Structure 1
Amino acid sequence: MKRICSVFRSASHEGMYLYVDKAEALTRVPEPLLKRFGRAEHAMVLLLDAEKKLARADAAKVLEAIAEQGFYLQLPPQAEVLNPREDRPE
């Protein structure tokens, strides 16, 4: 399955993106999420299929989420946090 997607970046949260169907834009994104996301800045339009390579998301999962809920939310990468227990012998 192929889909033309619009990608929006959050003006408030570095690295947070919303992928949506281009024809639907942000209409299916729940209002509480839009408030949390902040001002949505249009980043790009892309033709997405399951085989497409994306930098930080699995294209098949993006397509599935858009079909089921109307959007895919990509969160910023988390800073690596070491588990304090990893350094302790058992």
Structure 2
Amino acid sequence: MHAYVYKSQRKTETYIYLARRDDFEAVPESVRAPLAPLSFVLSVELTPERRLAHVDAQQVRAALSERGFFLQLPPSPAQVLAALIQRDDG
């Protein structure tokens, strides 16, 4: 499955993954408007082996199949702390 990733210019570390390039019709206006403008950043093949930096690729694939989009929000402070601790332990 292919995904097209767009970055919010208004909200840091916030991305929308689309099943079809430039097809924002699947994204509700209530989600899209606070994030606009959005800029294209990446086209990626979401194979079962694919690892993404901050989200589970399987969750992205499921959302794209069901809704046509996936919203990636910034990590919470607890998630950032857990990642730092894990990095120091590894």
Give TM class, smaller chain: 0.7 to 0.9
The TM-score with structure 2 as length reference comes to 0.79
- Structure 1 gap ranges (5+): 82-90
What is the root-mean-square deviation in Å for CA atoms of aligned residues?
Answer: 1.6
State whether residues 6 and 22 of structure 1, in contact with CA within 8 Å, keep that contact through their aligned partners in structure 2: yes
Bigger CA radius of gyration: 1
Distance of 1:67 and 1:37 partners within structure 2:
22
Greater strand percent: which structure? 1
Greater helix percent: which structure? 2
How many residues are paired up? 79
Structure 1: 4+ residue segments shifted above 6 A = none
Distance of 1:59 and 1:53 partners within structure 2:
6
Distance of 1:35 and 1:24 partners within structure 2:
15
Distance of 1:4 and 1:30 partners within structure 2:
21
Moved more, 18-27 or 55-64: 18-27
